[in-house]
Structure 1
Amino acid sequence: MKWTQLPLGPLQTNAYVLENDKKEAIIIDPGSEGPALVNWLQEQALHPLAILLTHAHFDHIGAVDDVRSKFNCPVYIHSKEQDWLTDGDKNGSSRFLGTDAITAQPAEHIIKKEGALIVGSFHFTVFETPGHSPGSVSYYIEEHSIVFSGDALFAQSIGRTDLPGGHHDQLLESIHEKLMTLPEETIVACGHGSPTL
């Protein structure tokens, strides 16, 4: 498996594109610049199988509908944030962007609990890692020693908890119980900034 980090939009939110040798792909958190992301995927001759969302803050969902409509691929999100996609107040875009609220169509697949998630040849373990937001999840690929943590954990930092639904103690618990228990060699591919290598 190959993975590529693509910082998108004014907040430089990391979208991650995972691909196998068949040129099938998984897109994690396509946050912005939908047309440019679609063009890049086409230039790479990739065939997205699914969009996985670590959470539904506006800077992580802005290109969801562009990618989904072009490649006809389903979206996965945790149940606690499934209605955030269609609601600019809940996903924060109304608060930060005013009338230019960012929304997306509802997700096709709702994650209701932790465990295995298999899409094509891609095998993930889903961890519930709330605290930054109530429905935050992390996607771990044990075979490749990498976890896509969204905004829960960054290199030498943690996610903010002052947004609606955030909870500092809950985030620390998520990090200590779910992410810090992963093997030492695990790469943390986070929502902003550089991965821990």
Structure 2
Amino acid sequence: MDEEMHEPKDNKSIPMTSITSGSGEEAANDVFYYTDQIVNIGFIGYPEEREWVLVDAGLPHSAENIMETAEKRFGTQQPPLAIVLTHGHFDHVGGLVDLVQEWDVPVYAHQLELPYLTGEQSYPEPDPSVEGGMLAKISRIYPNEPVNLGRAVQPLPEDNSVPGMEGWQWIHTPGHTPGHVSFYRKHDGMLLSGDAFITVRQDSFYNVLMQTSEVNGPPRYLTTDWEKAKTSVEKLAQLNPETVVPGHGTWMRGEALREGLSHLAQTFDQTAKPDYGRYVDGHDYH
């Protein structure tokens, strides 16, 4: 195993949770997600076939829960074919080092996300000054140092295919981070949106706790390019997805999803983009 790997320097537990924490939902026969406090982790594959892919890796110290969930779903001694990442923020890579050390499987992310996954570059700090609720105000406590996966991480294929996920494609949806991607399966309109858009207002403590379901833009306190974020939402709305499993919030499907996503795309500047904040109105990403 790669001896270069190590956790972020500021790896720590975060005091946030929701009523769905520790539970799982099946959005399709081969699409299951587990909620780790406030973030969703995807398990893609049919349980009876026992070949699957993990999408994202939760908050710090989540590896044990992820492995237990995988064992219940796919049986013992069934590591995934791969781990694929929507992006590398702390709440999506928290269990990665332990999982890779245990499973010895490859990790894939967009080329532009690799510096934040190989210890080369830290993300911009969260913005507690941004317009929003309490979880935005306390965001200065959230980790932003990079994980270092060394040679275990590699870029997603240039042909937009997703390793181990036949029929899926990755779609570059930057804005929340430079290399953010979403995963889409055309034949049934299934979308894993990551944080490109989510189904809970992530800066509101009450909405996160209760998992109040509504289509929202990306988390405000960690989104650094609002023009690209808007374009990404418009791109995903054009897909007219049937079902979404977001990075945060509950899964949605049908008319409620399509109407909510269309409205978000049409009103993004008014409803998603904050009125003020460090990264609003052309502030430089770095």
Is the TM-score greater than 0.5? yes
Distance 2:181 2:91 in 1: 16
Distance 1:39 1:101 in 2: 27
**2:219 is the alignment partner of 1:160:** yes
- Structure 1 partner of 2:276: none
**2:32 is the alignment partner of 1:4:** yes
Given candidates 95, 101, 105, the residue that maps to 2:149 is: 105
Given candidates 221, 227, 237, the residue that maps to 1:180 is: 237
Gaps of 5+ in 1: none
**2:179 is the alignment partner of 1:150:** no
Q: Is the 8 A contact 1:25 1:49 kept in 2?
A: yes
Q: How much is the aligned-residue C-alpha RMSD, in angstroms?
A: 2.5
Q: Is the 8 A contact 1:5 1:14 kept in 2?
A: yes
Gaps of 5+ in 2: 1-28, 127-139, 200-214, 254-286
Q: Is the 8 A contact 2:53 2:165 kept in 1?
A: no
Distance 1:6 1:91 in 2: 28
Distance 2:49 2:65 in 1: 23
Compute the displacement of 1:97 (Å).
4.6
C-alpha offsets along residues 79-137 of structure 1, whole Å, 9 cap, x if unaligned?
111021244832769x6356x95724134321375x43143462321111001111111
- AA aligned opposite 1:89: S
SS in 1 for 2:227: helix
Structure (1/2) with the larger strand percentage:
1
Distance 2:187 2:236 in 1: 16
SS in 1 for 2:83: strand
Distance 1:91 1:79 in 2: 18
Amino-acid identity (%): 26
Q: Which runs of 4+ in 1 moved over 4 A?
A: none
Distance 1:123 1:67 in 2: 25
Q: Is the 8 A contact 1:129 1:152 kept in 2?
A: yes
Distance 1:167 1:27 in 2: 27
**2:42 is the alignment partner of 1:16:** yes
C-alpha offsets along residues 4-55 of structure 1, whole Å, 9 cap, x if unaligned?
111114xx11101011341111111111311121122123314311111001
Q: Is the 8 A contact 1:161 1:167 kept in 2?
A: no
Distance 2:90 2:118 in 1: 10
Q: Is the 8 A contact 1:161 1:168 kept in 2?
A: no
SS in 1 for 2:80: strand
**2:245 is the alignment partner of 1:189:** yes
> 1:146–1:121: structure 2 CA closer, same or farther, 3 Å change rule?
closer
Aligned ranges for residues 54-133 of structure 1 at < 5 Å?
A: 54-87=86-119, 89-90=122-123, 96-97=141-142, 103-106=147-150, 107-111=152-156, 113=158, 115-120=159-164, 122-133=166-177
Q: Is the 8 A contact 1:54 1:150 kept in 2?
A: yes
C-alpha offsets along residues 125-168 of structure 1, whole Å, 9 cap, x if unaligned?
1111001111111111123321111101123201035537x211
Which of these two proteins has the greater Rg computed from alpha carbons? 2
Distance 1:60 1:92 in 2: 16
TM-score, normalised with respect to structure 2: 0.59
Distance 2:125 2:31 in 1: 28
> 1:78–1:92: structure 2 CA closer, same or farther, 3 Å change rule?
farther
How many residue pairs match? The answer is 189
